[in-house]
Amino acid sequence: MSWNSAHGAAMIAAAQAHEDLLAGVDDYVDVFGALHRAGVEVMGQKLGGLLGLYVDSSQGGVPGCLVNTGLEEVGMRHTAAHELGHHRMGHGTSIDHQDQSSGRWGEGWPQHEREAEAFASWFLIPRPAARTALACCGLQRPGSPLDAYRMARWLGTPYATTVRHLVRLKMIDRSMETVWLKHSPGSLKTELAGSLPLGPQAHVHVLMPAAHDAVLHVTSGDCLLLAVPGGRYDQLPAGVSSTPPDTAGQMSFLDSATAEHTRAVWVGEELDADATVTADTGTSELFRVTLRPAPSREGSDHFWA
């Protein structure tokens, strides 16, 4: 089966799953909630070189999947969507390895793996959600790798997955995809953050004026860059700090007079519930965004916060 055929089948299956599993398509898609509503038991644990696995119900039990918690949240979300694809598209038990392809991405993959991978993209990045991410970035269309990276942060998806799917959504062309995939997420977040300190798995979220009142999904260590003209962070909620992680005792960056430092705050491990960050814009209205932290994925999903 070609990738085009896999995407054709997966696009239909993902649309049906969105409707059947009450998974909204207008913004960030809750894949773990969808798995729960699909009756798939989910477990999270460190799996070494495995991304995850799906176990069907052919032996009389309930279907289930295992997700590698050694991955960062967006990687776990993509793996979960891939396993949901196996479930929804009627595939049997499947084990997904990090070295699934020894050559280029997707080269030599069997039909069921191509379908599950295509399903993951269509499920996590339906067109309305991509449009919402564009709007939160203050964009009409993505015009650079940095734009794709910023969109991926609102979607909660891996950078490469996002770039490849933007082609399917006809938001970029194949030549742009080829060039953009040469950029690593690490180099892009460094370009956005400049000299600000970042952990290896931290993401950089750029908060534009168009993101006012939006909900942003975050994990510990993430950096929030305020890009509102004249904006300066106001009172910070517990779990969000002007001091980057692992620099306890150093000067608060909000105490610095530089523009770069006054626009940056970091998410800490203490953020365990929704919280709102606000910024003074120099006008009568505050800019605000709600932060939603990802829970620990260790163990059974029945015990995730």
**Quick check: helix, strand or coil at residue 244?**
coil
Q: What is the largest CA-CA distance in the chain?
A: 64
- Residue 79 near residue 49, CB atoms below 8 Å: no
**The pLDDT value given to residue 254:** 42
Domains of the chain: 3-125 (1.10.10), 128-183 (no CATH), 198-248+256-293 (2.60.40)
**The pLDDT value given to residue 78:** 96
Nearest to 188 by CA among 206, 214, 207: 206
Nearest to 211 by CA among 233, 191, 227: 227
The list of the chain residues with pLDDT below 70 reads: 99-105, 246-262, 305
Q: The tokens 């709007």 sit on which residue?
A: 135
According to DSSP, residue 226 is labeled E
What does DSSP say about strands 204-207 and 223-226: parallel, antiparallel, or unpaired?
parallel
pTM for this prediction: 0.92
**The pLDDT value given to residue 235:** 83
**The pLDDT value given to residue 106:** 75
